Structure 1
Amino acid sequence: METLQFYDEAYEVCLNSERIALLPKEYALLRFLFTRRNQVFRRSDLLDLVWGQDEMPTDRTVDDHVYRLRKKLHGWRHLLTIETVRGMGYRLTWKEPKGQNLLENNPEFAGHVRHMLEMYHGLGMGAAMQTLSANKDVLGFELDPFYAVYLRFVSGDFRWFLTTSDLPFNEKLFYLAHLYFIAEEDSAKVLDLYKRIVDGKQQLPGLWEEELQINMISLLVEAKQWQQAADQIQKVEKIVARIQSPSYTLTFLFQHICYLLDRQDVAGAEEAFTQANALLAAKPMQREQGMLVILEGMWQYLQGLPEQGRLSLDKGIEILQRTRFIPHYLFAVRKIDRFFQAFPVDSVWQQKYKKEWARVSEEYQFPLLRRQLVDVFARHL
C-alpha cells in the first residue's frame, strides 16, 4: 500500500520518490487531513485544530490553502483528493489500489526484506524503516505482521491502536501502556497500570513484559519510591542478563542511570555511563545514542556544567529527531521536562523544553489520548 511520508523540517511530503515542497500551513493542513483521512471536518474545526488560538484566520483562509494544496497535489489525484462536502467542510479521500504483485509468494525475497527491516530496527534507523514501508508497493512486498503494527507505532499513528479491531488486546497492550507512560502526567497512575499488567499475567508477546519491567524503574524513581526502585533494578538486572540483548541492556542501563542521577550517585553514574558507551561503541544504535547523550547532558547539569548540559540535551534531541522514532522522541522530551521539574538548574532551557512538551502534547492530543486509554484499560483489565 502506497502512503505519504512527511518531512517536518523541510515542510515536504513524499510519495514513493517524488517530493513536493509546501508552505508551513499547507503542510500542517495536509498532515492533519491525511492523519485523519476519509473524515469530514468543518472549516471551524480546521481553524481550531490546525491554526490554533494564536492566529486570526477566517474560513477564507482554509479555502485558500485547500485550493493551493489541490493544485500542488494534482499529480497524485489517482491516490488522494481533498473533497468539498457540501454543507459540512472538507475531507481528504485516500484511495488504495491493489495491483499485481509478482513477488507476493516469494519467501526468499520476503526473508531479505525482513532481514533489512530488522537491521534498520536494531540500528535505530526509523527513517529508513518508514521509507522502506512507504515504498512497499513499488518494491513489491508486504510487511510481515509484526512490522506492519510496529511501524504504525514508530510513525506516531497512535489512534490506530485505539480503534483497530484487527489486533487482539494482548498484542497491542504493550503499545497502549507505552503511550500511557508518555501521555499521563501522574507517574503513580502509570506505575499502577504497569503493576496490574505484570501481576495480571496478560501473556504479552515476545519480550514486551520484560520491557515493562525495565520501564518500571524510572516510574518508581519519579514516584520517589527509592527502595522499590533499587529492588526493581536488582530484579531487572537478572532479566537482562538472561536476555543477552545489547538493546535491552542499554535500556536497562538508561533506567539505572535515571535512578543514579536522582540519587546523585557520582561513582555509580560514571560506571553506568562507561558501560553504556562501551556497548554503543561495539554496536552503534542511533536511537540509544540519542538517549545516552541526553542523559549525559543531565549529568553535566548536576556536575555544575550548564553549557555542556545544554549542548548535550540539544544534540541528543537532534539525533532522536533524525531517527524518526516518534515515541522515543516524545519520551525523551518528557524525560527532559521531568528532569528540569526535579532539578530547576537552567530556567531558559527548562522553558524551552516545557514549550516543546506543550507543542507535542497538542500535536498528538495527549489529553484526549489519556482519556481514551483510561477507558480502554477499564474495559479490558
Structure 2
Amino acid sequence: MQSISFQSELFQISYRSEKVRLLPKEYELFQLLYQHPARIFSRQALLDLLWPMADPVDRTVDDHIYRLRKKLVPLADVVKIRTVRGQGYVLDQLSQLQTNPLSDDRELAEDMGKLFRKYHLYGQGDALRLMADNQAVFGVELDASSQLYLYFMNGEFERLLHFDHTDFWDKCYYLLHLHYYTCEDAEKSLFYFTKALNCEHLPLQHKLEISLLNRLTLLILTKQLDEAAVLLKISKQEILDGEMEGFVLILYLMELGLAFLQRNDAWIEAALVMIESELIKRPFSREKALFSIMQGLYQLYKGNSVNVKETIAEGFAQFRKAKYVPGIFQSLKIIIAFLEEFEDYPDLHTYYFKELERYREMYQLVELGPYISCELEKHL
C-alpha cells in the first residue's frame, strides 16, 4: 500500500489527491497509530504517550478518536481506526485493489525510474515523496529497494525495519547507518561497516558505497588518518575514473574533513576551491548543505568564531528543508566530531549534542537501537 504523507508544519496528512487537516493532538494521535501498524494501544497507553504532562479526563482519548474518525472519512478505503473490545485502539491499513491502465507500460516505468534516480541525485525529497505517495495515480509501482530508500529518507525507520518484502541483506546498508546515528562508539560502527563488506549477500551497489565512501567517513571521524589517506586515494581514482557522478562531491567533502584534521592549510584551500567549482556543475542539495556546515567548521579551524553558529545552522537548516532525514543525523555527527577536535567551543558542542539526542527521540532511534544492534550482531 502507498504511504500516507505527513506535513507536520500544517498538521496535515495526504494520500493521493486527498488532504486532511487535523488539530495538533489529532495529528499526533494519528501519526502514533500509523507508525505502529497492527499494534493495539490501550487508553492509558495513549494518555501516557500523548498527554504525559496533563491531567486529562476519562473521555479524552475517546473524544479524540471520535473526531479523528470523522476527519478520516475521505481516507476510508485506506485506513480505519478499529476498537478492540477490552484492549484499546488499532489502526488498520487497508489494501488498495484499484489499478491504473498505465501500470503495465514498461516505457513509463523506465522513465519514472530515471526521474526517481535524478530526484535522488539532486536531493529533492519533496519530489520523491510526491512520487511515492501517488504511485497508483501515476501508474507506477516502486520496487522494494526504492521503497526502502524512501522509508530511510523520510525517517520512517520502524517501517523500514519491519518492511516484509525484503530480507536482512536488502536492509543491511540502512541498518548500518542507523546504528551509526544511534551509537556513540564510531569505532563499533566502523567495525560493522567493515564486516558487511566481506558478506557476499550484500547488494553490490551498497558494497560499493561502503567501500568507497562510508568507511572513509568513519576512518576520518575516528581519527585513523593514515588509513583514511590511503583509502581516499583509492576512492578518488575509482570514483573519478568510473565517472560516478553521485559520489564526487561527497568524496571532496570528506577530503576537506581529512585536510582539517591533518591541519594542512594548502590542502584545505585547494579542497574548498574544488568543491565550490563542483557545486556549480552539480548543485546537489545535500552536498550544498554539508558544504555550508564545513565552511562554518573551517571558520572555527581558522579561529574566527564570528557568525560561525549561523553558518553551521544554515547548512543544518538546508538538510531540514530538503526533508532528507539521514542528512540531519549525518550532519550532526560530523558537527559534533569536529567540535570535539576544536575544543574551544564547548557551548556549541553541547548545543548540537542535545540536538542529536532530540532527533534520536523524535525518530524513535532510542527505542529501535537495541533491535538494530541485535540484527547486525546476529547476521554479521
Structures share a fold, TM > 0.5?
yes
- Determine the C-alpha separation between the residues in 1 that align with 2:93 and 2:77: 9
Identity of aligned residues (%): 29
Secondary structure of the residue aligned to 1:305 is coil
1:45 is aligned with what amino acid?
Answer: A
CA displacement 1:189-240 (0-9 Å, x = unmatched): 1111122122x24353243223212122232233222222222222322232
Local SS of the residue matching 1:6? strand
The residue aligned with 2:34 is 34
Following superposition, the deviation at residue 296 of structure 1 comes to: 1.2
Match of 2:116 in 1: 117
Map of 1:257-336 to 2, 5 A cutoff? 257-336=256-335
Structure 1 stretch 177-186 or stretch 60-69: which is displaced more?
60-69
Q: Could you tell me how far 1:285 is from its partner in structure 2?
A: 0.9
Quote the Cα distance in structure 2 between the aligned partners of 1:45 and 1:268: 56
CA offset at residue 365 of structure 1? 2.4
Distance 1:88 1:245 in 2: 54
Residues 341 and 17 (structure 1), Cα distance of their counterparts in 2 relative to 1, 3 Å cut: farther
Q: Verify the 8 A CA contact 1:246 1:279 in the aligned structure 2.
A: no
- State the match for 2:44 in structure 1: 44
Q: Quick one: structure 1 residues 71 and 375, their matched pair in 2 at CA, closer, same or farther if it must change by over 3 Å?
A: same
The one-letter code matched in structure 2 to 1:107 is R
Structure 2 CA distance for aligned equivalents of residues 32 and 57 of structure 1: 20
Cα distance, 1:125 vs. partner? 0.4
- Paired positions, count: 378
Superposed, 1:1-381 pairs within 5 Å as 1-51=1-51, 55-58=53-56, 60-198=59-197, 200-213=198-211, 214-381=213-380
Unaligned runs of 5+ in 1: none
Aligned mates of 2:45, 2:305 — CA distance in 1:
43
- The CA deviation at 1:131 is 0.8
Instruction: Return the alpha-carbon distance in structure 2 between the equivalents of residues 57 and 369 of structure 1.
Output: 29
Report the residue type matching 1:26 in the other structure: E
| AA of the residue aligned to 2:274 | Q
User: How much has 1:281 moved relative to structure 2?
Assistant: 0.5
TM-superposed deviation, 1:101: 2.2
CA distance in 2, matches of 1:176, 1:130: 21
5+ long unaligned stretches in structure 2? none
C-alpha change, 1:366 and 1:341, in structure 2 (3 Å) is: farther
- CA deviations on 1:307-344 (whole Å, 9 max, x unpaired) are 43222222112211122222122222232233334434
Distance across 2 between alignment mates of 1:51 and 1:300: 43
- 1:5, distance to aligned residue in structure 2 (A): 0.8
CA drift of 1:117 comes to 1.0
CA distance in 2, matches of 1:10, 1:283: 32
Deviates more, 1:130-139 or 1:2-11: 2-11
Distance 1:43 1:357, change over 3 A: farther
Distance of aligned partners of 1:47 and 1:338 in 2 relative to their CA distance in 1, 3 Å threshold: farther
Q: Distance in 2 between matches of 1:139 and 1:196?
A: 40
Amino acid in structure 2 at the alignment position of 1:91: V
CA distance in 2, matches of 1:340, 1:66: 46
Displacement of 1:11 in angstroms is 2.5
Q: Report the Cα distance in structure 2 between the residues aligned to 1:209 and 1:312, rounded to whole angstroms.
A: 34
The residue type equivalent to 2:32 in the other structure is: F
* Deviations 1:132-168 (CA, angstroms, capped at 9, x unpaired): 1101112222113432332222222322443345324
- In 1, Cα distance between equivalents of 2:247 and 2:279: 12
Q: Report if aligned partners of 1:123, 1:285 keep a CA contact under 8 Å in 2.
A: yes
Q: Deviations over 1:154-189 (max 9, x none)?
A: 222322443345324333221221221222111111
Counterpart amino acid of residue 119 in structure 2: Y
Q: Which residue identity lines up with residue 28 of structure 1 in the other structure?
A: E
**2:77/2:96 contact within 8 Å kept:** no
Change (3 A) 1:257 1:67: farther
Deviation of 1:14 after TM superposition, in Å, equals: 1.6
* AA at the equivalent of 2:25: K
Residue type at the aligned position of 1:232: L
How far did 1:106 drift? 0.9
CA contact (8 A) 1:306 1:346 kept: no
301-310 or 32-41, which moves further after superposition?
301-310
Distance 1:273 1:206 in 2: 31
Moved more, 87-96 or 298-307: 298-307
Structure 1 vs Structure 2 CA RMSD: 2.3
Q: 1:62 to 1:268 in 2, by over 3 A?
A: farther
Give the 3 Å change call, closer, same or farther, for CA 161–6 of structure 1 in structure 2: closer
User: Matched residue of 2:14: which SS?
Assistant: strand
Give distance in 2, aligned partners of 1:279 and 1:7: 33
189 and 346 in structure 1: CA distance in 2 versus 1, 3 angstrom threshold:
same
Give SS of 1:14's match: strand
Contact 1:182-1:330 at 8 Å conserved across structures: yes
SS in 2 for 1:78: coil
Does structure 1 retain, via aligned residues, the 8 Å contact 2:35–2:158?
no
